[in-house]
Chain A
Amino acid sequence: MRLFNTKKPVAARAEGRVEAVAKVTGSGKYAAEYEVKNVCYGVLAVSAVAAGSIKSIDLSKAKQVEGVLDIITHEHKPLVPGMADEAKIKETRFGLPIFHTDKIYFRGQPIALVIADTLENATYAASLIDAEYNTEKANVDFESTHPGVKLSSAGKEKGTLDAWSGAAHIVEAEYNVQAEVHNPMEMHATIAHWTADDKLVLYDKNQGVNNVQRVFARLFNIPPQNIEVSSEFVGGGFGSGLRVWPHALASVMAAKQVKRPVKVVLTRPQMFSLTGYRPAAWQKVKLGADNNGKFVGILHQSKNNTSKYETFSEGITRITRMVYNFDNLKTEQATVPLHLSTPTWMRGPGDCTGAFALECAIDELSHKMQVDPLELRMKNLAVTTDPESGKPWSTNFVNECVEKGAAMINWKERKQVPGTLTDGEWKIGYGMGIGMWGAGRGNASAGISMQKDGTITVKTAMTDIGTGTGTAIQNITHSSTGVAKNKIKIELGHSDFPATGSQGGSTGLSSISGAVSAVCDALKQKLATYALVQKEVYKNAALPDILLSETGVSYKTNNNEFVSYADIWKKNNLTTVDVEASSGPGEERQKYAFCSSAVHFCRVKVNIKTGKVKIDRMVSVADGGRIVNEKPAANQISGAVVGGIGMALMEEQLADKNLGNLVGNDLAGYHFAVNADAPVIEVAFINKTDPNINPSGAKGLGEVGIIGSAAAIANAIFNATGKRLRDLPITPDKVLA
C-alpha cells in the first residue's frame, strides 16, 4: 500500500502536514529512489559546442569501460514512432528532438546516453565520449541581439499613445532581468521500465502525471492507460516539471534498447540547460499621470529570449493589463531566438518579470511627482473591475493587503527623500511592490475509497510539490464529511488515480478542492443510498442532512436514524465503498474575473562603501481567498519571497558570449538565497473567502508570493541610496557603480 501521508507508524502523530512524517524521516520516495529490480543507469554526454551539427561521435573509449550495456546516439537508437520523421517531430511539439537530429542548438545539448550497470561506470564512460562537430557561429548574446528584433502587439490596445503625450508627469525607462534557473533541490530524474512491449512504468519527477502519460502515449503510439506514471513525492518544481524534458524520453528509449529498467538522474549542471529556465528579458515602460495622481497611460514593451528550435513567449506585459486602471494602454512583446535551450514557465512566469518593471516605474513616477508611492498606487488600483475583461472581480482585496502591510512594516517611517535614513555607513530605505495573478481553476477528479471501519482514502493524480495540497485535501475532506482527520488517508501523484491537470500556475488547490468537495458529497450520497436499505428517511435526503461519524451515518442530528457502517457493509455485502467525482470551472467564469494578490514591503540596509545590501525586514500580505491551511500557505508566501530576494539580489545565469557555454552552472556559481540572506519573512493574509471560485473559497497562492517582491527590494534600495537600479540582479557591483 502506498500512502502519501503514512510511510511509517509513529507513536505520536504530530500536528502538521499529512506527509510530514515521511518527509522528516526520509522515508518518502522521490523519483530516483524507487527500488526497481535489475535497474541500470543512464548518463548523458552533452555537446561541447553551441551551434552546428555533429560530424562524428567517438564511442570507442566509452565502450571499453566495463559494465557499459549500450550507448544511444542519433545514429543508434530504438524506434520512437512519434519522432519517426521530421513532420511527426514537429507535430509532437516535444521540444528538443533528442537523438533524432544531428543539429546542435545549444551547448550542453545531449548527444549520447551511456547505459551501464553502475552509476560510476556510466558516469565515467559518458566522460570519455568525444565528438567532432561542424561548428557554426553561436549567438547567446541577448543584450546585443534584442534591439534588432521587432515588437508586435501583446493584447488589445486601449485608447492611444497620443492621448497622454502631454501628461503632467511621465517617466520612461528600460529594465533588464537576467535569466534565472528553477533549480529545485531534487534534480530531475526518471526511472523507465517497459514491463511489456507496449506497457511502460515510469517513476518520474514532474508536476503532472497525466501530462507525462499523454506525452509518452503519443510518442510511442500506445494507449495512455498502458503507461503508469508515479510521482508521489516531488522535490520542488517551480514550473520545471510542467513539461516532459529530453532526459525522460532518453530514459524511456534506453529502457527499450537494453530491455531493462533505466534510471536517468540529471547532474546539477545539466539542470541548467535541460529543464528550462526563466528567460532573460528586456522591458521598456512609459507611464504617465495627471496632476491628481491618476494614471493616464502606459506603454509596456517586453522581449524575452527563446531557443533556436522552439518559441517560448513569457507573457511579461500581462500584469500591466490587470492591476491598475489605465485609460490608455499599449503592450507589445517579442521573442529573441538564441543558441540556448528553451526557457519555460518559472514561478510567477511573465508577471514576475513584468511586475518588476511596472512596480519600479510606478516608484519612479511617484518620486518624480514627490508623492508617496503607496498613495499613488491606491489611487489607481482596479479593485472592483478587471480592466482587461471588464468583468467584476469576484473578490479583490489588494487594497486591504496594501493597508495591512503598510501598518506591519510601519510605512510611515519611510522618508520621501532618498538617502535620508542612515545608520553609520548603512543607508536605510523602504520599498513596496504589488503582485497579482489570475486565479485559475482547471478540471480535476478525485476518488474516495471507504473501509468498513470508517477510514477513507482520498485519491487523485494531482501531485504535491511542496504546496501542501495533500494537507488541504485532508482538511477539505474533513470539513465536508465530518470524518476525523486521522481517519482520512491521502494518495497522490499516480496516473491510476482520478485524473487532474498539472500542479502549476497556482491552480492546484483551486482545481482539486472542487473535485474533493464533489467526491465527499458523492460519498455521503452513496452511503445514504446504502442506509436506505435499513431506514426509509434516507430516501431523497438532502446532502447537508447526511452526517458521517466514526462509526456510521446519521440524519440531521448526530445519532438520529443512525445506521452503522458495519451494518451498511453487511446488508449490502460490501468490501469498500468507492466513489469518484469531477469538477471544473463553470458559469462563474462568465460572470466574474478572478485574481489572487500579494503586496510586498521591504526595509533594506545598503552599505555604501562595500555595496552590500542587507534585507532587514520583508512583509508580505496576501489575498488568497479563504486560507485552507494557514501554516503551509504562509510557508508558500514566505518561500516565494525568498525566491524574490534571489531574483532581486543574486540570481543570474550568464552565458559566455564567445564560447556559448553557461558560466558557473552549478550551485556554487549560480547563487540563490541561503538561510542567511533572508530575514524572517513576515506574512499575513486577508483570509476572506471567494464565494465564486470553487467550493473551498480558496484562491491559488503559489505565484503571487514572488510577483512584485523584487520590485519592492529595488525600490527600497532606491529609497535608501537614491540609486535607481533597473537591471536585476542587483549585485554589489551595481550598487557600487
Chain B
Amino acid sequence: MTVTRRKILALGAGTLAFANLTSLPAFASVVEDQIAAVTGGAAVQDGGITLTAPEIAENGNTVPVEVLAEGAVAITILATGNPSPEVATFRFGALNPTRRASTRIRLAKTQDVIAIAEMADGTFRKAQSVVKVTIGGCGG
C-alpha cells in the first residue's frame, strides 16, 4: 500500500492543526486571501493532489517540494510565511504526460507550504504541509 500524504494529513489532522497555529498565529485570513488570489475566490477541495515536502528543512534556503495532481492544467505553490508567498505557477499543455512539478524553494521560517491545482474542469484542489525551519544542533 502506498500511503499518500493526504492520508497522513488526515491521520495527523489534529496535531497538524495545532502545529499550524504555532507557526501562523492569527494569520489564517491572510492565507485565505493568498489562496483566493490564485483561485479567484472559487471553492477549493482537498484531495486529488499530492504535495511532498520534508517535515524539517535541511536547508531553509533550498527546500525541495514536489506536487503531483493528475488532470491539472496548472499547479501553484505558495509559501505562506514568506514575504512574497507566491513561489511559482506551473502550467501544463495537453501533451504533458504527467502533471507533476518539482522545484526548490526558500523558506524564511517555519510555515505552511500550500499547493493548489487548477483542474481541467475549472475546479481547484489543495494540499498543504508544515515545513519546519530550525536552528539545528543538539542531535542526540
The answer to whether A and B belong to the same complex is: no
B residues apposed to A, CB below 8 Å = none
